[in-house]
Structure 1
Amino acid sequence: MSETTVSPSQSLPRVAPGGRLELLKGIRVLDLTTSIAGPYGTMLLGDFGAEIIKVERPKYGDDSRQWSPPSLAGQALWFLSVNRNKKSVTIDFSTAKGLDILHSIVKECDVIVTNQLPSVLTKLKIRYEDIRAVRPDIVYVSLTGFGIGGGRQNDPCYDLIAEGFSGVMDLTGELDSDPQKVGTPAADLLSGTDAAMACLAALMDRTRTGNGHFVEVSLVESMTRFLTPRVVSYLGSGEVPRRSGAKDSVIAIYQVFATADEPITLALPNDAIWLRFCSLIGRGDLAQDQTLATNAGRVLRRRELVEQIQHHLVQHPRSYWLAMCREHKVPAGPINRVDQVVQDEELLARQLFYTMEHQESPIPQVGLGIRFNKKVAGYDRAPPKLGEDTISVLKGIVGASQQEIDAYKNAGVI
C-alpha cells in the first residue's frame, strides 16, 4: 500500500496509551534480536509488562525496518507489527567501547534475548558465558534456526527454511499440488512465542533459586513440535501422512465444502456432533446407520459421505448453513480473507484490532489476545523510531554524562 492510499486501519478503534499489564513490571529485557521471531517474543514480554530495551545497529537498525513496501508514514509495517512497547537504542557493540556500554546495560537487566549465530556470538563476545560474567543471574535466551551445538548451528535460517525442514510444508496444500508455505511466518511466530514462554519459566525458577538460565529455542524445533500429532501418529503406525488440502485424514468429516455461494469449513469430530449434523440436514437414515456410528466407520466411507454432504450444502448459501450449524451446535465457519477478519464484529468487540496513537499516523496493531482478570493488554509505547531512546537509556541506566554521549556519537559507537 502506498502512503497516499487510505489505510483500512482508519476504521479501527483508536486506543490511547495506558492500561498496560503489569505482570512483569520491574523486569528489564535487553533485546538484541532482529527480523520477526525474536522481536515478536520480546514484544510478548513487553505486553506482559516488562521493560524492553531494543539494541539496534546505528543507521541501519533491525532488518525488518527495511522490509517495505508496505509502509506507513515511512516505517515498514512488518517492523511496526512486532515492536510495540520497546525502547530503541543504537549501539555498535562490535567496538570495545560499544561492548562496554552494552555490558553496563546488561548489569541492569534480568533477561537478554539474542538471535545471532554461535559464530557471531563468539565474534561479538556476547555468548552466554560472556554475559553471565557480567550478570550471573541473567536469563539468556538464544533464538536461532537450529539451536546451539550440532552440525547445523551456524547455518543461516529463516521461516521459509524452517517450514521446509519441519515437514509443515510437505503437509500443506493439495496432494496433487506443490508443497505450500503457511500463509504467515509460522516458524517465526511459534519460536518467538516459545522464547517468551521459556523466559517466563526461567524467571519463575530464578525467583525460587536465584539462578540464571541459558535458554535455547530454534525455529526448526518449534516448527517441528507444531507437527506433534502427525509425527507421533507416524512413529506409532508407520503410515506417512500426506497433504490433503483442507481435508483431514484422521477425522471424518473435517474439511471445506462448497455452498450455493461461498465455501464453509465443517468439523464433525465426534459421534454426538455427527448425529446433530445428520438432524440438521434431515438425514435420519445416516444417523441410524450403525456402520457410521463411529469415526472409524465414517473414515471408511469418507468419499461417499463427502459427496452426500456436498449435495445438501450446495442447495443453500453460506449464511444459511452457518446459521443452521450454530443453532444445532455444529462447528462450522467461513473462510475469511484478511480484510474480512479485521472486520469481524466479535474480534473487534474483544479489542483484538486497534490503532495506537502516534504523532505521524495512527499505527494499526493486533493485540495480545490474552486477558488477565478480564483486562485487555494496553500499551505505553508505539514502535520506536531507530535510536530514539539512546540518550535517555545511556543517561538513565548507564549513567553516562552528556560529554561521554557526545564522544560516543563522534566515534560512531551510537
Structure 2
Amino acid sequence: MRETTDQPLSGIRVLDLCRVVSGPFATMQLGDLGADIVKIEDPRHGDESRRYGPPIIGSESAYFLSVNRNKRSCTIDLKSEAGRDTVLALAEAADVVVENFRPGTLDKWGLGYDALKVRNGRLIQCSISGFGRSGPDADRPGYDLILQGESGVMDITGDADGPPMKVGTSIADLTTGLYAAQAVLAALRLRDRTGEGSRVDVSMLDAMASLLTFNAGMYFATGESPRRRGNVHPTISPYEPFPVADGWINVGVANDKFWALFCDALEQPDLKTDPRFDTAPKRAAGRAALVQILTPIFATRSREDWLSRLSAVGIPCGAIKTVGEVCEAPQLIERGMVQSVEHPTVGPVRFVARAIRFDDMAPAPSTAPPTLGQHTYEVLADWLGWDADRIERSAAGGAFGQRE
C-alpha cells in the first residue's frame, strides 16, 4: 500500500466505481493528494479504456495508464449477489464513492446512494453523468464528443468559415473530472461541520456549459449566439498565432503600452503611430488589415528569434509546441512535473504529475496504474479485515467472477 501519511487527503478512503475518463480522472486527482483509491473493475475485461489503443504497451493501453496512477484495482462482479455484497461492505468502510454509471444503474443493482447511506451515514457519493440526474435528458448516455457539441463549445471552436471543431483533448471528460474532485473536497469539508455524508451530482453538460463564461454573457446581453472566430479574440488584436520561419508563435498585445513595445521589437516605428492601429479598439476593428501587414514580417525570422526579441521588451508571447516538446520542456522537468513509475508488466511509465503544490510538502511517490485485479485480496484484508478463508468464500460465491 502507498505511504501518504503527510499528504492532504491521507486517511481518506475512496471507492472508485468509474470507467473510461471523467471518473478515473477525478479519482486520480484525489489519489494524487494522498487518498487511498480502490478501483472496482469488471473481472472479465476491466475498465474498457484498458483496451483503447493504439498505442498498447505490453498488455496495457497508454490511455488507461494516463488516468489511473495511485490506485489499487479490485475485480468484483457487480452482477453477482456476492459481488454486490462485497461492494456494500467496502462502501461501509469508505469515506467517498465516485461513480459514473448512467443514472439509475446502481439503484437497479441495490448499490445506489439510498442503499449505501443506510450502512454508512457519513458516506459521500459523487455521481458523474452526461446530463445529470434530473431533467428531460437525464437518461441519455454521455461521451466527451457528444457533450462538446451539446454544450456549445464545438460551435464556437474552429475557423469562422469552417465546420464546428472539437477541442484537441477530452475537455468535457477532464473538466467534469476536475469539478467532481472539487465537489468531493467540498463535501468532505461539509461533513467535517455536520458529521453527515451527502450526495453530489456532477453533470458533464453543466461542467461544459460553465466554461462558456463571456460567450454566454455575450448571448445574454445581445440575444445573439457568438460565432466561431478561429484563433481571433473578439476585442484584442494582435492576439493570435502567427507562422514564423520554422513554426508558429502566439502573440498577445493586450493594450497600447504593449503595442508600442511590440512595434519597436518588430522594427516597425511607422506602424506604432499608424492612425488605423494606434488604439486598441482600432486594432480590433482593423484586425484583417493588421494581420496582412504582420504575417510577412513574422515569416522572416525563426521561432526562437522572435520569442527572444519579444520577450526582451516584455511582450506576452510563446511557442506553439508539440506534445513532445511539452513533455520534454525544461520548465516542467525542473518543477518535477514529468515523473516516472515502474509498472509491473510495462516497465517505466512516464506521466505528467499533479498540478497542485503545497509549501514545503513534496508530492508522495506515485504508484503505477494497477494491473487488472492486482490488489483484490490485499484491499479486502486491508479495508474489511477479511482473512484468507473469508475471501475464498466470497470467491466461491462468484464475487470476483471469471476473467476471459
Same fold (TM over 0.5): yes
Query: Separation in 1 of the partners of 2:5 and 2:164?
Result: 41
Retained in 2: the 8 A contact 1:20–1:379? Answer: no
Within the candidate set 159, 162, 166, 1:174 is matched to 159
Question: How has the CA–CA distance of structure 1 residues 305 and 371 changed in structure 2, closer, same or farther, with 3 Å as cutoff?
Answer: same
Retained in 2: the 8 A contact 1:56–1:387? Answer: yes
Question: How has the CA–CA distance of structure 1 residues 22 and 295 changed in structure 2, closer, same or farther, with 3 Å as cutoff?
Answer: same
Within the candidate set 83, 108, 114, 1:98 is matched to 83
- C-alpha displacement at 1:20, in angstroms? 8.2
State which drifts further: 38-47 or 200-209: 200-209
Paired residue secondary structure (2:235): coil
TM-score, normalized by length of structure 1? 0.91
- C-alpha displacement at 1:36, in angstroms? 0.5
Retained in 2: the 8 A contact 1:394–1:400? Answer: yes
- C-alpha displacement at 1:322, in angstroms? 0.7
Give the corresponding residue for 1:303.
Answer: 288
Q: Deviations over 1:344-403 (max 9, x none)?
A: 111121122222123431012111122111545233421111111111111222232322
Name the aligned partner's letter for residue 182 of structure 2.
M
- C-alpha displacement at 1:156, in angstroms? 0.8
Name the aligned partner's letter for residue 175 of structure 1.
A
Query: Separation in 1 of the partners of 2:295 and 2:29?
Result: 42
Give the corresponding residue for 1:236.
Answer: 221
Within the candidate set 335, 339, 350, 2:335 is matched to 350
Name the aligned partner's letter for residue 296 of structure 1.
P
Query: Separation in 2 of the partners of 1:376 and 1:399?
Result: 31
Within the candidate set 216, 219, 227, 2:204 is matched to 219
Give the corresponding residue for 1:32.
Answer: 17
Retained in 1: the 8 A contact 2:82–2:397? Answer: no
1:367 maps to 2:367:
no
1:129 maps to 2:111:
no
1:158 maps to 2:158:
no
Within the candidate set 239, 242, 254, 1:257 is matched to 242
For structure 1, the 5+ residue unaligned runs are 1-16
For structure 2, the 5+ residue unaligned runs are none
Retained in 1: the 8 A contact 2:262–2:315? Answer: yes
Retained in 1: the 8 A contact 2:28–2:70? Answer: yes
Give the corresponding residue for 2:384.
Answer: 398
Q: Deviations over 1:118-167 (max 9, x none)?
A: 23122122222121111112111010000101111111111010101011
Paired residue secondary structure (1:118): coil
Query: Separation in 2 of the partners of 1:70 and 1:92?
Result: 28
- C-alpha displacement at 1:409, in angstroms? 2.1
TM-score, normalized by length of structure 2? 0.93
1:51 maps to 2:36:
yes
Q: Deviations over 1:151-200 (max 9, x none)?
A: 11111111010101011111221122221111111101100000001111
Correspondences of 1:254-333 after superposition (within 5 Å) = 254-289=239-274, 292-333=277-318
- C-alpha displacement at 1:257, in angstroms? 1.0
Name the aligned partner's letter for residue 160 of structure 2.
L
Retained in 2: the 8 A contact 1:20–1:380? Answer: no
Name the aligned partner's letter for residue 257 of structure 2.
A
Paired residue secondary structure (1:362): strand
Retained in 2: the 8 A contact 1:67–1:76? Answer: yes
Q: Deviations over 1:32-90 (max 9, x none)?
A: 01101100000000001111111111121111112122122211111111111111111
Query: Separation in 1 of the partners of 2:359 and 2:343?
Result: 28
Retained in 1: the 8 A contact 2:80–2:398? Answer: no
Percent of residue pairs bearing the same amino acid type:
37
Retained in 1: the 8 A contact 2:340–2:348? Answer: yes
Name the aligned partner's letter for residue 93 of structure 2.
E
- C-alpha displacement at 1:339, in angstroms? 1.6
Within the candidate set 396, 399, 402, 1:413 is matched to 399
Retained in 2: the 8 A contact 1:139–1:212? Answer: yes
Q: Deviations over 1:277-324 (max 9, x none)?
A: 122123334434566454322211111211222232122222211111
Retained in 2: the 8 A contact 1:262–1:317? Answer: yes
Question: How has the CA–CA distance of structure 1 residues 20 and 66 changed in structure 2, closer, same or farther, with 3 Å as cutoff?
Answer: farther
Give the corresponding residue for 1:11.
Answer: none
Retained in 2: the 8 A contact 1:84–1:379? Answer: no
Give the corresponding residue for 1:68.
Answer: 53
Paired residue secondary structure (1:195): helix
Q: Deviations over 1:103-132 (max 9, x none)?
A: 211111111101111231221222221211
1:383 maps to 2:373:
no
- C-alpha displacement at 1:234, in angstroms? 1.9
- C-alpha displacement at 1:330, in angstroms? 0.8
Query: Separation in 2 of the partners of 1:142 and 1:407?
Result: 31
Question: How has the CA–CA distance of structure 1 residues 180 and 125 changed in structure 2, closer, same or farther, with 3 Å as cutoff?
Answer: same
Question: How has the CA–CA distance of structure 1 residues 21 and 143 changed in structure 2, closer, same or farther, with 3 Å as cutoff?
Answer: farther
Name the aligned partner's letter for residue 166 of structure 1.
S
Name the aligned partner's letter for residue 357 of structure 2.
R
State which drifts further: 282-291 or 86-95: 282-291
Query: Separation in 2 of the partners of 1:239 and 1:150?
Result: 25
1:186 maps to 2:171:
yes
1:200 maps to 2:146:
no
Query: Separation in 2 of the partners of 1:220 and 1:379?
Result: 34
Name the aligned partner's letter for residue 298 of structure 2.
L
Within the candidate set 24, 27, 30, 1:42 is matched to 27
Query: Separation in 1 of the partners of 2:363 and 2:172?
Result: 24
- C-alpha displacement at 1:268, in angstroms? 1.2
Retained in 1: the 8 A contact 2:92–2:116? Answer: no
